[in-house]
Structure 1
Amino acid sequence: MLGSTAVLDVTALTGHAEPAVRDLYLPRVASGQLTMCNAMTEPYAPGSEPGLTTTRAVQESDGSRTVHGRKWFVTVPPGHLPGEAGRGLRVIAERVRLGRLLRCLRWLGQAERAFTLMRERARSRPASSGRLADLQLVQALVFDALLAIRTIRPLVFEAVALVEAGLDARVETGLAKVAAARMLHQVTDAAIQVHGAAGLGPDTPLPALFRTGRMARLLDGPDELHITAVARRILG
């Protein structure tokens, strides 16, 4: 079973690398012996607009390419260029689109974890008139968190099914990415609220999950990027 990052790397190599490069790297990536990276962001170019990157791979006389830019200087041996020269953004776009959905699936699992912790806390924590679970405002937090998870799950799975079928899923992926990020942020925030000060300490994974939920609204494109992109496709 491959982790989400390895899935992205294997998919990119399988679809765009030359046979010799696939034979050289695929087995090691799949086995976990080799880790690849996607150096897309730059200090002065927003990651949400990869077309603004200034780094360029210049072909040398021996067929290799030297990468010039703020990502340092990197030499790419001949035959190691994924895809056609000048079409690197398409390769990156494919990788990022799949990566967004893999993140959505992970966020669903993390939200489920936060929800479980919240439910257990509400059931076990005593209050002046019984348990936290008996308080209506706590019940409202639990209800809203569960509603968010159950609402977002089919949205994510719909996008996954379209990608698996090889169909255009750009609208569905944008919807799923924004919705899943907001959902994780909402659920982890509610879980911390039910835990009180204990939810901010090191004894539960909630602080880390909450940070992930906030970062989710920025990773692989901020919410605003996806909202605009989806709206433009719908409105024409």
Structure 2
Amino acid sequence: MGNDSGIGVLDKSVLVLRTAAERPCNLAELTAATGLARATAHRLAVGLETHQLLSRDGTGRWVPGPALAQLAASARDDLREAALLVLPRLRDATGESVQLYRREGAERVCVAAAEPPAGLRDTVPVGTRLPMSAGSAASVLAAFADDETRERLLDGAAYTAKSLAEVRRRGWAHSAAERAAGVASISAPVHDRDGTVVAAVSVSGPIERLGRRPGDRWADDLIAAAAEITERI
């Protein structure tokens, strides 16, 4: 179910919302996708529809409702807004795709991105959820997590406790063909005002351009971009 707040009805309602946001669902599809009992899924979906958080499309399937757009319009994300001022310059400096990731449980979520206008790219759309088990951004977010979280994330991961210690020492991570075949990346941590790592900024692209050790080429640029995002938030 993803993050667990300990409030069962809330977690189930969010699960229903996320499922309908991924693709339109009728009741049978919603029940299959969420694993909820049919009566529970129906009750929650109808309740969310009453509050306009869900609505129905022309086929009667549940889809995101207008209230979600209204709520999103009033939301402010200082981290994302700061990243959107910095990522385009990092993209232009490297000529590669750049992203900003947050960790949510055992996943990392792309919250901002900038793509080069042409050429072979590693496109990661905003909202994409990737496992925390591989990739340079996952290594950064795991390396600077609390001890208990880090130990949990190590299970089945491509990185090791030793490699995460090295990430903390040098302040960045790189990877080649960990998350996807043929893709290399380098990532650095973004801190909040208290010094806590809240995100990872990344450059990613084909191995034939970035090489298997992209940190040798782009570490300084990436650390500078991460520091600027940190300063802006």
Q: TM-score range by the shorter chain?
A: under 0.3
Q: Find the structure with the greater CA-based Rg.
A: 1
Judging by fraction of residues, say which structure has more strand: 2
TM-score w.r.t. length of structure 2: 0.25
Q: With CA pairs under 8 Å and 6+ residues apart, which has the higher RCO, 1 or 2?
A: 1
Judging by fraction of residues, say which structure has more helix: 1
